Every structure is written in structure tokens, then in C-alpha cells.
């Protein structure tokens, strides 16, 4: 089937762009002798994770326990990005520890104690890294408190310290590519210092892990960090375009829509709204994003308002679009769009060639 014959709205996945992105970032890590454990909250797809493993990825960073459970039989290291504290999720962490090479991240004593108590009862040892705050100020400890925290957890026999982790997510506050370097300095400087302090205190670090798509190209050269976790790189999006970490041709995930109305001279309506494109206009303070997506081939168009099912498109200057035309939109944040669909329609050379499930969208595993 030709792309133009698809029903709209549809989430398209350009397989050539996807494969090129996977190869490019894997090569960055391979060339610098680093492991790539992609953050899979971007795509939430077992098939896409298998493609990343085939290219050389040796682990996965998961944003939900559903994602971790999905990856459990893939024979790779699995890291969960956040602490857990509920009885139900601690039980899931214990089961994951029994079934696969699993690592959790911790940044507080109370969650650590809760996990330790269950681990002792179940006769397992849960591997963990300490989350170090490199500037996002979300999860993580200030670097000067890392040794104190590690010392507090020494007595927990159900836990095993294996290293440190961070996420320089504040890089998404950058409004241009020139600003990225200062975030790399935060990321690498924080982890370098944490390693120095911990080793001085007698700790051995098996893993020093971090990653974001905008910073990895520079931070991958750091001599101490050995595992990287970019996620968005597989798809890329308008946020990455805004900081020049992608070109239009690199953006693998798009929303295919039809122009369905022309209420006034400078206004068109398309049949893709917030339930396809999301309402993200830039994570963590990015002010460089204009509108709700980039319309490929039409720089004169701005998607400046979304209802649930439709988008309002304003024209700046002249345009040749008309009612009935189909347009391809690069979302601001591809991770959000991926979580809003149940499958990707895979395309190559203007032909539909496959369909790939989004296996764990919205924590989609059924639980009783």
C-alpha cells in the first residue's frame, strides 16, 4: 500500500531513518568503548529493543516496571530508572531480580529499607546504583552526600551497591546547540566527582551510567562513564531539531494527517490533535519550540492549537495546501506520541511495509 492511501491520523515509522539512528548512536558508543543501554520509554516496543540489541546494545534502561518485565527474557542487563516504595512494586522488583540481570536506582533510605526487608525475606540480593543529581533536580543526591548515603546502606544485606547513575535531563532547557556543552560539564563533572569520593571511601564502582540524546555525543568521550542511556535518538523530534541534534531526514516518527477544513484565509484544520501529537512544547523549560509539531515540507505552517482530535494550522505567507491534502508532522516530543498509539505503521520509500506493536504503552499489561 502507498502511504497516501492510509487512513488518517496514523503514526508512521520511517524504517530507514530508524535504522540509521540506531547505527549512529551505537557506533558512538562502540568507538569510545562504552556500553549502550537505551532508555526504552521512548518506543516501548519489544521489537525495536531487539533491533537495538542486534546493533550492539547490551542493556536497557526502563521507565516503567512493565518495560522491565517486557525485556526480562532478552538476555540483557535491565536497569529501572527510579526507586520503588509500594508493596506491589517491590514484589515486582524482587521477581525481576530472580529472573534476570536487574539493577534498580536508589536515592533515599526509606525506599532502600523497604526493598531490603523484602529482599531478605525472599533470600535475594537486589543490585542498585545511587542516583546522583547532575542538575535536573528531580531524583538524585547532591554529589557531596553520595558517600554518606552509601555508608547508610552498607548494613542492608539484601542490597548490593554496583555504581552510580545520573540523568542530565535539564539539557532540554537548552534553546540552541551552543548551550549543550555546559550541560555536559554538569553531567560529567558530577559523576567524575562522585566516583572520586566513593573510591576514596573504599567503594568499587562497576557501573557509572548516564545519558540523554543531546549530550551523549560529547559525554561519551568521558573516561569514567561506561554506560550510556539515550532514548529519544531512535526517533528524534522537533525538540531535537530545535537544538540541531537532528535534521528533518533523521526524524523517524511522524504523524500522518489530512487537512479537513479551511475556515479562513490563514487557517486550516487537520484531523490530528492532542491524542496524536501530545501537548508537549518542550521538556524542562525549553522555550525554543513554536507550536505543536513541524509540518514536513511546509515551513510556512504552524500548528498553534490542538483539540483532542484536531489541530489548528496557521499560515504565515503563502501556501499550496488545500482541503483533502495529507501532511506529515514531526511531533515536538516523539516519546509522548509513541505512548499515544498502539502500533507503528512502518514505511519505506513511500510504501507501507510492516506494523510494529507498542507493547507497553501507558503501562498496558493487564493486572488483576
164 sits in which H/E element: strand 159-165
Residue 141's contacts (CB-CB under 8 Å, 6 or more residues apart) are 107, 130, 131, 132, 133, 149
For residues 297 and 218, give the distance between their C-alpha atoms in angstroms, rounded to a whole number: 31
- Contact at 8 Å (CB) between 115 and 86? no
Q: Which of 239, 209, 246, 237 shows the shortest CA–CA distance to 105?
A: 209
- Contact at 8 Å (CB) between 277 and 337? yes
- Contact at 8 Å (CB) between 81 and 106? no
> How many residues comprise the chain?
368
For residues 68 and 37, give the distance between their C-alpha atoms in angstroms, rounded to a whole number: 12
For residues 35 and 33, give the distance between their C-alpha atoms in angstroms, rounded to a whole number: 7
Which residue's entry shows cell 540480593?
Answer: 125
- Contact at 8 Å (CB) between 243 and 177? yes
Can you say whether the dihedral through the CA atoms of 33, 42, 129, 144 is positive or negative?
positive
Could you give phi then psi for residue 235, rounded to 5 degrees? -105, -45
Residue 344's contacts (CB-CB under 8 Å, 6 or more residues apart) are 11, 12, 13, 45, 253, 338, 355, 356, 358
99 sits in which H/E element: helix 87-99
Q: What is the pLDDT of residues 237-268, one digit of tens each?
A: 999 999 999 999 999 999 999 999 999 999 99
Is it true that the peptide bond before 9 is cis, omega within 30 degrees of 0?
Answer: yes
In this prediction the pTM is 0.95
Angle at 35 between CA 82 and CA 30, to 5 degrees: 150
For residues 185 and 196, give the distance between their C-alpha atoms in angstroms, rounded to a whole number: 16
Q: Which of 313, 317, 315, 357 shows the shortest CA–CA distance to 338?
A: 357
Q: What is the DSSP letter of 80?
A: E
Q: Which three cell numbers stand for residue 192?
A: 567524575
Angle at 107 between CA 42 and CA 214, to 5 degrees: 35
Can you say whether the dihedral through the CA atoms of 223, 226, 231, 234 is positive or negative?
positive
pLDDT of residue 368: 41
Q: What is the pLDDT of residues 188-231, one digit of tens each?
A: 999 999 999 999 999 999 999 999 999 999 999 999 999 999 99
Regions in the chain scoring below 50 on pLDDT: 368
Q: Which of 150, 149, 140 shows the shortest CA–CA distance to 170?
A: 140
- Contact at 8 Å (CB) between 189 and 218? no
Amino acid at each position: 500500500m502507498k502511504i497516501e492511501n492510509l487512513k488518517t491520523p496514523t503514526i508512521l515509522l520511517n524504517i530507514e531513518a530508524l535504522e540509521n539512528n540506531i547505527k549512529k548512536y551505537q557506533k558512538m558508543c562502540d568507538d569510545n568503548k562504552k556500553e549502550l543501554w537505551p532508555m526504552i520509554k521512548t518506543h516501548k516496543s519489544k521489537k525495536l529493543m531487539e533491533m537495538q540489541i542486534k546493533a550492539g546494545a547490551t542493556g536497557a534502561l526502563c521507565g516503567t516496571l512493565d518495560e522491565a518485565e517486557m525485556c526480562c527474557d532478552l538476555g540483557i542487563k535491565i536497569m529501572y530508572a527510579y526507586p520503588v516504595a509500594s508493596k506491589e512494586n517491590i514484589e515486582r522488583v524482587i521477581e525481576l531480580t530472580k529472573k534476570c540481570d536487574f539493577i534498580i536506582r536508589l536515592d533515599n533510605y526509606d525506599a532502600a529499607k523497604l526493598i531490603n526487608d523484602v529482599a531478605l525475606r525472599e533470600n535475594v540480593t537486589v543490585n542498585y546504583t545511587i542516583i546522583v543529581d547532575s542538575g535536573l533536580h528531580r531524583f538524585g543526591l547532591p554529589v557531596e552526600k553520595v558517600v554518606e548515603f552509601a555508608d547508610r546502606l552498607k548494613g542492608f544485606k539484601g542490597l548490593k551497591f554496583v555504581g552510580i547513575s545520573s540523568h542530565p535531563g535539564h539539557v532540554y532547557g537548552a534553546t540552541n546547540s551552543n548551550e549543550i556543552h555546559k550541560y555536559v560539564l554538569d553531567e560529567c563533572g558530577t559523576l567524575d566527582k562522585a566516583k572520586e569520593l566513593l573510591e576514596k571511601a573504599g567503594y568499587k564502582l562497576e557501573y557509572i551510567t548516564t545519558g540523554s540524546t543531546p549530550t551523549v555525543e560529547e559525554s561519551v568521550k568521558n573516561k569514567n562513564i561506561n554506560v550510556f542511556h539515550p532514548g529519544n535518538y531512535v526517533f528524534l523530534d522537533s525538540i531535537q531539531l530545535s537544538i540541531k541534534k537532528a535534521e528533518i531526514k533523521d526524524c523517524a516518527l511522524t504523524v500522518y494527517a489530512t487537512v479537513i477544513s479551511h475556515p479562513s484565509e490563514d487557517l486550516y484544520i487537520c484531523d490530528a490533535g492532542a491524542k496524536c501529537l501530545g501537548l508537549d512544547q518542550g521538556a524542562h523549560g525549553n522555550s525554543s519550540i513554536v507550536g505543536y509539531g513541524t509540518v514536513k515540507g511546509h515551513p510556512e505552517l504552524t500548528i498553534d492549537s490542538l483539540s483532542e482530535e484536531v489541530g489548528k494550522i496557521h499560515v504565515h505567507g503563502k501556501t499550496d495546501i488545500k482541503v483533502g491534502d495529507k501532511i506529515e508532522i514531526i511531533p515536538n516530543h516523539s516519546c509522548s506520541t509513541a505512548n499515544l498509539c498502539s502500533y507503528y505503521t512502518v514505511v519505506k520509500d513511500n510504501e507501507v511495509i510492516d506494523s510494529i506493536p507498542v507493547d507497553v504503552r501507558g503501562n498496558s499489561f493487564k493486572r488483576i
